[in-house]
Amino acid sequence: MRADPFEFWRIAWAATLSGGAEVFWGASSPPGPPRAAAIDPSALPVLGRVRVELATMWLLEEREPAPRRIPPTLIVAPYAVHEASIADFAPGHSLAQALVESGAGPIALTYWKSATPEMKDYDIDVYLGALNVAVDDLGGRVSLVGLCQGGWLAAIFAARFPAKVAKLALVGAPIDLEAAPSRITEAVALASPAAIAAALAASGGRVLSAVAFSHWAGRFSPEFTAEAALQCCGDPALVGLFDAWNRRTVDLPGAYFAQTAEWIFRENRLARGAFRTFGRQAPLSAIAAPIFVLAAGDDEVVSTPQATAIEALCPQTPVTVRVEPGRHLSLFMGRRTIATVWRDLARWLAEAEGPKRRPQRGAARAAVDAEA
């Protein structure tokens, strides 16, 4: 079984509150399992070509991009504990492969870099700015597919720059953190902004995710097994790939982490219509693109109501909701999920753009009466 990173954060914040930050963030931490070597992007099954390199990320694309007949699809990977190969894990377990094979191409991916000490002050706007560069490089208008924490980033972008987003898909994405409890919200609730600031100061202004392995020993969770993630049994090669992925952690800028903890998870600014970026408010109601929501029925990280809440928060926008059996990681790696709903999502992305707004009840009733 693999360790549960969210249990680590709970313990770390509790220790910080009791004055033990240096144990969890400082150099005194005992050595843990070795951190897996960074993956070579060229080794990914589908998205093996670097299109653009920025300080914050590599923008990856297909080795042989599909002819462009629809807006490109940009996968916005999560920038949290692990690196972005979750989007292109292995043949048969690659959501990028499903999107390409089902006609949603050309496809690109934000492959976020681990934060260096010089990046400690990079904040959410820096990453939204990088996303804007990627969108412009792809032609200025794309469909966004936001994975987990990449989902709220994609939603903010779509709200702030609605003309640049043709369609928006949110997969296991925390949108309304007050809709239901989850492990993330429970963990963040344990730490005040002052405690977070103290912990970051003790670690040089970054979240050093590799340190987590020193404190996961003995605290394992069945949700983070290869079986739960990949929806397949008895394949030692895939289990080995999963274990290596699970050890490929990324360090995060302290400013980005602190804003995420406070603005997204504690203050719930996105759902409350109070998120401000690049000098303006970015309410979800400003999203003009049709939305596809994919959630997991047994998601232990992002509760289903947190992910599906955007339907109520965007009452004028067409929203398609799919809730699939499985846990959090199976949304992105699971064999069954990749073979079914991801191909449906690809076809939705490939469809001609429909109405920008939901029909009003009165208008819909009038249309039915007219047909009668």
Secondary structure of the chain in the HEC alphabet?
CCECHHHHHHHHHHHHHCCCHHHHHCCCCCCCCCCCCCCCHHHCCCCCEEEEECCCEEEEECCCCCCCCCCCEEEECCCCCECHHHHHCCCCCCHHHHHHHCCCCCEEEEEECCCCHHHCCCCHHHHHHHHHHHHHHCCCCEEEEEECHHHHHHHHHHHHCHHHEEEEEEECCCCCCCCCCCHHHHHHHCCCHHHHHHHHHHCCCEECHHHHHHHHCCCECHHHCHHHHHCCCCCHHHHHHHHHHHHCECCEEHHHHHHHHHHHHHCCCCCCCCCEECCEECCHHHCCCCEEEEEECCCCCCCHHHHHCHHHHCCCCCEEEEEECCCCCHHHHCHHHHHCHHHHHHHHHHCCCCCCCCCCHHHHHHHHHHHC
pLDDT at 8: 42
pTM of the predicted model as reported, rounded to 2 decimal places: 0.86
Domains of the chain, first to last = 5-371 (3.40.50.1820)
pLDDT at 112: 96
Averaged pLDDT for residues 13-18: 40
Each residue's pLDDT tens digit, 330-366:
999 999 999 999 999 999 999 977 666 665 544 433 3
pLDDT at 319: 97
